[in-house]
Amino acid sequence: MKKMLVLLFIVLMLASSCAAHKHMIGKGPQSGVKVDKRQWYALWGLVRIGDVNIPDMAGDKADYEIYTRVNGIDWLINFFLGWTTIQTRTVTVTK
């Protein structure tokens, strides 16, 4: 039973970062400058806490890429705060 729980924990840990989304705006990134912010959620993603403002992150650029994902730091935060229903995702805008 203990081996099964360890195996389940490892599988869950490895599978947690497979949710990523990329959106190309205009012609996509032109300069390669990246801006990262962390978006916080309550109730396992149903209620957004704070505001990651994509137009502010992109500035005056019309061509950029939005990449949202759960990275290693997010996974660690979610692991410890998940029981409180608080979750995070990283949002990266590449100009």
- Nearest-CA neighbor of 66 among 52, 76, 78? 52
Q: How far apart are the first and last CA of the chain?
A: 49
Flag whether pLDDT at 15 surpasses 70. no
Going along 26-63, which residue ranges are E strands? 34-42, 47-49
Check residue 24 and give its pLDDT: 94
pTM of the full structure? 0.75
Q: How confident is the model at residue 16 (pLDDT cuts 50, 70, 90)?
A: low
- What is the identity of the amino acid at 28? G
Please say if the pLDDT value at position 56 is more than 60. yes
